[in-house]
Amino acid sequence: MPKEIGAQNAPIEPADNCDQVPILVYHRVHPDDDAPPVVAGKHCGHVLLSNFVRQMNYLHDHSFSVITHQELYGWLQDEVNLPPKPVLIDFDDNRGAAYDYAVPILAEYGWRATCFVITALADGKLPEMEHDGSPWYTAMNWQQLEQLHEAGWIIGAHTRTHPNLRELAEAGCHERIEMELHGCREDIERELGFTPFCFTYPEGEWNEAVEAVVAQLFATARHWYKGYPFRYVTRRSNPLRLPAHNISERLSFADFVAFVKQTTSGDAMNG
Ligand SMILES: [Zn+2]
């Protein structure tokens, strides 16, 4: 397991006030004047650039420490301490709108995030996920992902084509599950030259049969929640069941603050 801890996000001094670690999950960041509508009753997969900037500024101004999944895993293994007020920033689905608008802002702060990759999207082989070819939904290619990796980001696995793995398991499609998980890991190894250690479930959908395969291939696996209550990673969290909260235009700034500021309190549900 890789144990390197990156310099940019490195803890200045250990702290014991990190009982609860929030994981923020983003998908796409769009300029305010070029964003898709938020449709009532439908999933929202984006934040406006102005709101993303406001959220990142809040983390910076309130001295949060952006850590990676590598550091989180080291903490869960009792191998490293975390800095004060730790928080993780994840981008699922390797979307171009995250690369174009979020990456430069994180670079300004010297923060590293994690990108969970749908490898067929990076290959340019998944046109049905492009939403009628809208430029809003372009994907990061392998060259862009390599740039992120070289900048210290963690590149994680998110299957080859983003199916609902729980439904596949319930339908008995075990070969397809093997292909999605092994294939995704192999694609990243082939294109980027390393073995990803972290995984996240498409749509947060999983069951124990899928998890058994995931456990053979990855050290950590992240879940995904859209609703309340907020859930946090704790010392006692199972590394294969890391809770995380989706951040979108549906979440108010007040709720964003409520989610991250509870890193040191004990009144939210633990994951
Ligand atoms: Zn996804």
Domain segments of the chain as ranges: 23-270
What per-residue confidence (pLDDT) applies to 136? 60
Half-sphere exposure of 183 (CA within 13 A, CB side): 14
| Ligand 1 ion local residues (Cβ < 5 A) | 92-93, 202
Residue 266 Cα, ligand 1 centroid: separation in angstroms?
Answer: 29
Strands (E), the chain: 23-26, 28-30, 46-48, 65-67, 86-92, 114-117, 154-157, 198-200, 220-222, 231-232, 245-246, 269-270
Ligand 1 centroid distance, CA of 122 (Å): 13
The low-confidence residues of the chain, meaning pLDDT below 70, are 1-18, 127-128, 130-136, 263-271
Could you give phi then psi for residue 157, rounded to 5 degrees?
Answer: -100, 145
User: What's the topology of domain 23-270?
Assistant: TIM Barrel (3.20.20)
**Cα-to-centroid distance, 12 and ligand 1 (Å):** 33
pLDDT of residue 5: 37
Give yes or no for a contact between 27 and 89, defined as CB atoms under 8 angstroms apart. no
pLDDT in tens, 70-96: 999 999 999 999 999 999 999 999 999
- Rounded distance from Cα 14 to ligand 1 centre (Å): 33
Task: For residue 105, count other CB atoms closer than 10 A to its CB.
Answer: 16
- Give 180 Cα–ligand 1 centroid separation in angstroms: 13
Chain segment 10-21, per-residue pLDDT in tens: 444 444 445 899
| d(CA 162, ligand 1 centre) in Å | 6
pLDDT for the residue 137: 79
Interval between CA 263 and ligand 1 midpoint (Å): 25
Output the CA 200–ligand 1 centroid distance in Å.
8
